[in-house]
């Protein structure tokens, strides 16, 4: 039986595991088979080549090991009825105490006095004396003989495992047993020429050195090899998915550029397109003109003009006799798109409707009928578009806004509305760093609008402390005096909702005192209000009847008030970078100079300082998203549903972005030369790829 088949053996059959430990490993760590244990990698390593002396110890350094001997043991009562066991340990430079809070009887019996031992653990200092709680202890004579690597691995663990006696040492022992039983013969997964080109170490050596590294250098080589392989296979699957879509999934070829498109382009464009917009429209036209289904991600910062690009893509669908739809994650956003697109559509006598959860039944009937008989050309809506009742006569283009709020399944639900799937355009104003885009949306082609329309002045951002509030208020008065409007936003975070709500109300009251009626008028919008009241307040502000809008983050997506020129963000340190950037994008929509003022207290963590400095330094959403990715890690960047963005076992897409780019480049090169992986040198690769697709593995990686 080869080692590879052995890897399918259930974990309880490994010597030293058994049924109850097996159950724990399954539940706590998801380790079901030998293979899962093999790929259970340490998350850090301790250098066991160094032995400390007692006089070299410092407080709370990582674990240390010391050679010496125990000269006495005593039991000490330290609280009512609670005892601890204390041993005095010495070497030739001083003495310290070893302490146990439980298991006294067993520990006492196992301690040997006046014999050379090695202790290992964390040190703390108390009353000038160092002590080590619950140290690992080994006789020096045995310590010298045991199979151990210089860099000792530390495996991820859970509280339950620790409490049930499965320590780091137990996991290391299981690992040794696994390598003995499988004789460490694991099949190679990458083609020979790739291993030689990149000077990668063989798979066997990599797996051995990740668990039992002989040196820091051996460990680094093992990590590089395993990280490369993991990212490479994700990319192979994503690119293969893209190729299969292009070959197998036929799309409607939109060969005609006709009346709708030309009439709009020549006579109704509200402003000259930027070069970036022209480039993106060309990419979309090429995609939709081929025989394959388009799957494109359109990224562009707030205000970069994605809506016009989306509308012109819809016109191409209509020129070719098809319908188009646009799906947005919230009613506010859907309404905003509807308002914007209706203005453009009405000039061309296009029939456009909106369908959301709150559309009346009578209106729904009309929409359903017009969709099926083809008289309704464009439908805007929320998740309501996915209902089975919604049937199109011939849907040619589906546009999805803010994709990260919709799962992959929802995307495919839209496809099924036709026997030939529609072209798909995904839009987002949340700039996604290249590294993340390569992994999350590796199966989509990416277009970026990276310039703002002419006449837009970059927003000036400043950071002010609460102690500067009087100056900030004076600045607001000056802006209102020249006819501008102001947003003041307060954080509202579920965990501290009551406190935040109080801050908002206190803030509103003090603003009302500083900006009294009748000279000033203030709107307020927050989550506890009825939708109708919210809309009324927003409307008053949009119509210029109020000067200041006090709000929680409800306004992050939604309102477009070109006359609002100042965005003040209270307690800005409590917002994430992408949220700050989105909020800032609410101003700067008109031709006037706009400002964003970040108000914080003086107490700022290092991360908060970085966020404020980044916001002040740049308006570039992509640069901001890169910093955000470094600060928060990939899991949190995509919002809660995407928390398992990439369930990677060893690679980290932030720290290993160079390896990711390398892996993607090689995957693209291999598949562009040999897409079916038929060449003899790709036999191994093909076998691994088929094994992975059997498990439908790519969606386990990508939520």
Q: Cβ of 206: how many Cβ atoms within 10 Å? A: 21
Strands (E), 335-413: 352-355, 378-381, 395-401
Upstream peptide bond of 518 is cis (omega within 30 degrees of 0): yes
Query: Which structure tokens are listed for 174?
Result: 């299981």
CB 280 within 8 A of CB 447: yes
Residues forming a β-bridge with 292:
250
- What pLDDT score does 402 carry? 74
In the predicted model, what is the mean pLDDT of residues 371-394? 93
637 confidence band (pLDDT: 50, 70, 90): very low
Q: What DSSP string runs through 205-248?
A: HHHHHHHS-SSHHHHHHHHHHHHHHHHHHHHHHHHHHHHHHHHH
- What pLDDT score does 452 carry? 78
Residue, of 653 and 518, whose pLDDT is higher: 518
Closest by CA to 241, choosing from 101, 78, 408, is: 408
Query: Which structure tokens are listed for 598?
Result: 């970040």
- What pLDDT score does 405 carry? 55
Query: Which structure tokens are listed for 108?
Result: 């006492």
In the predicted model, what is the mean pLDDT of residues 161-187? 88
- What pLDDT score does 696 carry? 56
The tens digit of pLDDT for each residue in 552-590 reads: 876 645 567 889 999 999 999 999 898 899 889 888 877
- What pLDDT score does 164 carry? 85
Distances in whole angstroms, Cα of residue 536 to Cα of each of 492, 505, 529, 532, 547: 21, 19, 11, 6, 15
What does the alpha-carbon distance between residue 652 and residue 635 come to, in Å, rounded to a whole number?
Answer: 11
233 confidence band (pLDDT: 50, 70, 90): very high
What does the alpha-carbon distance between residue 400 and residue 548 come to, in Å, rounded to a whole number?
Answer: 33
- What pLDDT score does 392 carry? 93
What does the alpha-carbon distance between residue 16 and residue 646 come to, in Å, rounded to a whole number?
Answer: 32
In the predicted model, what is the mean pLDDT of residues 54-67? 82
How large is the angle between the packed helices 621-632 and 577-584, nearest 10 degrees? 160
Q: Which of 147-151, 340-344, 402-406 has the highest mean pLDDT?
A: 340-344
Rg, C-alpha atoms of the chain: 32
The tens digit of pLDDT for each residue in 77-87 reads: 887 888 899 99
Of the candidate ranges 198-202, 673-677, 689-693, the one whose mean pLDDT is the lowest: 689-693
CB 627 within 8 A of CB 617: no
- What pLDDT score does 148 carry? 62
Residue that is written with structure tokens 């003009």 in the block: 305
Of the candidate ranges 298-307, 568-577, 667-676, the one whose mean pLDDT is the lowest: 298-307
What does the alpha-carbon distance between residue 210 and residue 557 come to, in Å, rounded to a whole number?
Answer: 46
CB 53 within 8 A of CB 91: yes
CB 250 within 8 A of CB 291: yes
The tens digit of pLDDT for each residue in 241-266 reads: 888 878 877 888 999 999 999 999 99
Report CA torsion sign: 637, 296, 403, 623.
positive
Q: What DSSP string runs through 89-119?
A: EEETTEEEEEEESS-HHHHHHH--TTS-EEE
Q: What DSSP string runs through 3-24?
A: HHHHTTSBGGGSTTTHHHHHHH
What does the alpha-carbon distance between residue 413 and residue 408 come to, in Å, rounded to a whole number?
Answer: 9
Domains and CATH numbers, the chain: 49-147 (2.40.50.140), 230-249+654-701 (no CATH), 259-449 (3.40.50.300), 460-618 (3.40.50.300)
Q: 694 pLDDT exceeds 60?
A: yes
Q: 125 pLDDT exceeds 90?
A: no
> 100, exposed or middle or buried, with CB in 10 Å at 0-12, 13-18, 19+?
buried
CB 43 within 8 A of CB 156: yes
699 confidence band (pLDDT: 50, 70, 90): very low
Q: 60 pLDDT exceeds 70?
A: no
Residue that is written with structure tokens 């009887």 in the block: 105
- What pLDDT score does 251 carry? 84
What does the alpha-carbon distance between residue 367 and residue 388 come to, in Å, rounded to a whole number?
Answer: 14
- What pLDDT score does 601 carry? 94
Upstream peptide bond of 386 is cis (omega within 30 degrees of 0): no
Report CA torsion sign: 425, 431, 435, 436.
negative
Q: 347 pLDDT exceeds 90?
A: yes
In the predicted model, what is the mean pLDDT of residues 24-52? 91
Closest by CA to 158, choosing from 38, 11, 31, is: 31
404 confidence band (pLDDT: 50, 70, 90): low
700 confidence band (pLDDT: 50, 70, 90): very low
What does the alpha-carbon distance between residue 477 and residue 471 come to, in Å, rounded to a whole number?
Answer: 10
> 189, exposed or middle or buried, with CB in 10 Å at 0-12, 13-18, 19+?
middle
- What pLDDT score does 147 carry? 54
Residue that is written with structure tokens 């994430």 in the block: 576
Q: Cβ of 56: how many Cβ atoms within 10 Å? A: 13
Of the candidate ranges 188-197, 223-232, 468-477, 649-658, the one whose mean pLDDT is the lowest: 649-658
The tens digit of pLDDT for each residue in 177-201 reads: 999 998 878 899 999 999 999 999 9
Report CA torsion sign: 161, 164, 169, 171.
negative
């Amino acid at each position: 039986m080869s080692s590879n088949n052995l890897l399918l053996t259930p974990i309880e059959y490994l010597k030293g595991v058994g049924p109850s430990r097996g159950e724990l490993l399954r539940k706590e760590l998801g380790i079901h088979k030998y293979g899962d244990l093999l790929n259970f990698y340490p998350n850090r390593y301790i250098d066991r080549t160094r032995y400390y002396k007692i006089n070299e110890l410092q407080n709370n350094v990582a674990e240390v090991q010391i050679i010496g001997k125990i000269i006495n043991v005593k039991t000490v009562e330290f609280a009512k009825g609670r005892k601890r066991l204390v041993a005095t340990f010495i070497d030739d430079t001083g003495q310290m105490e070893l302490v146990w809070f439980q298991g006294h009887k067993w520990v006492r019996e196992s301690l040997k006095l006046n014999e050379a031992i090695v202790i290992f653990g964390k040190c703390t200092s108390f009353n000038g004396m160092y002590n080590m709680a619950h140290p690992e202890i080994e006789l020096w004579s045995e310590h010298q003989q045991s199979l151990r690597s210089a860099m000792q691995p530390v495996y991820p663990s859970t509280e339950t495992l620790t409490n049930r006696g499965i320590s780091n040492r137990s996991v290391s022992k299981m690992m040794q047993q696994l390598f003995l039983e499988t004789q460490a013969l694991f099949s190679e997964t990458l083609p020979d020429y790739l291993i030689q080109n990149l000077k990668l170490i063989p798979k066997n050596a990599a797996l051995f050195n990740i668990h039992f590294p002989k040196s820091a250098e051996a460990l680094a080589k093992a990590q590089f090899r395993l990280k490369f392989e993991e990212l490479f296979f994700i990319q192979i699957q994503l690119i293969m998915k893209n190729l299969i879509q292009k070959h197998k999934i036929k799309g409607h070829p939109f060969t005609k550029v006709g009346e709708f498109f030309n009439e709009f382009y020549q006579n109704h464009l509200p402003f000259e397109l930027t070069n970036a917009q022209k480039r993106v429209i060309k990419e979309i036209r090429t995609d939709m003109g081929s025989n394959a289904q388009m799957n494109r991600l359109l990224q562009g910062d707030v205000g970069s003009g994605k809506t016009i690009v989306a509308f012109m893509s819809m016109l191409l669908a209509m020129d070719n006799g098809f319908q188009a739809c646009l799906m947005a994650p919230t009613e506010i956003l859907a309404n905003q798109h509807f308002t914007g697109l209706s203005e453009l559509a009405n000039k061309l006598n296009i029939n456009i409707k909106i369908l959301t959860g709150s559309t009346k039944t009578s209106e729904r009937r009309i929409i359903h009928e017009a969709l099926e008989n083809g008289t309704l050309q464009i439908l805007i809506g929320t998740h309501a578009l996915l209902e089975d009742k919604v049937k199109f006569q011939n849907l040619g283009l589906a546009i999805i806004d803010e994709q990260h709020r919709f799962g992959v399944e929802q995307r495919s639900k839209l496809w099924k509305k036709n026997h030939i799937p529609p072209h798909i355009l995904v839009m987002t104003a949340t700039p996604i760093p290249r590294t993340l885009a390569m992994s999350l949306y590796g199966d989509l082609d990416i277009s970026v609008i990276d310039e703002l329309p002419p006449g837009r002045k970059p927003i000036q951002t400043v950071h002010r402390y609460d102690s500067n509030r009087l100056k900030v208020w004076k600045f607001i008065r000056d802006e209102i005096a020249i006819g501008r409007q102001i947003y003041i936003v307060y954080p509202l975070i579920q965990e501290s909702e009551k406190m935040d709500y109080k801050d908002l109300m206190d803030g509103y009251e003090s603003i009302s005192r500083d900006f009294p009626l009748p000279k000033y008028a203030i709107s307020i919008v927050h989550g506890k209000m009825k939708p109708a009241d919210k809309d009324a307040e927003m409307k008053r502000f949009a119509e210029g009847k109020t000067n200041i809008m006090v709000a929680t983050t409800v306004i992050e997506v939604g309102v477009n008030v070109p006359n609002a020129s100042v965005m003040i963000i209270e307690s800005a340190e409590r917002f994430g970078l992408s949220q700050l950037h989105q909020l800032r994008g609410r101003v700067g929509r008109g031709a006037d100079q706009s400002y964003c003022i970040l108000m914080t207290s003086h107490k700022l963590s290092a991360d908060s300082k970085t966020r404020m400095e980044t916001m002040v330094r740049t308006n570039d959403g992509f640069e901001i998203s890169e910093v955000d990715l470094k600060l928060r890690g990939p899991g949190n960047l995509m919002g809660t549903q995407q928390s398992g963005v990439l369930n990677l076992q060893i690679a980290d897409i932030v720290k290993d972005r160079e390896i990711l780019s390398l892996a993607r480049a090689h995957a693209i090169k291999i598949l562009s030369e040999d897409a079916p992986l038929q060449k003899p040198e790709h036999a191994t690769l093909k076998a691994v790829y088929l094994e992975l697709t059997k498990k439908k593995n790519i969606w386990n990686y990508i939520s």
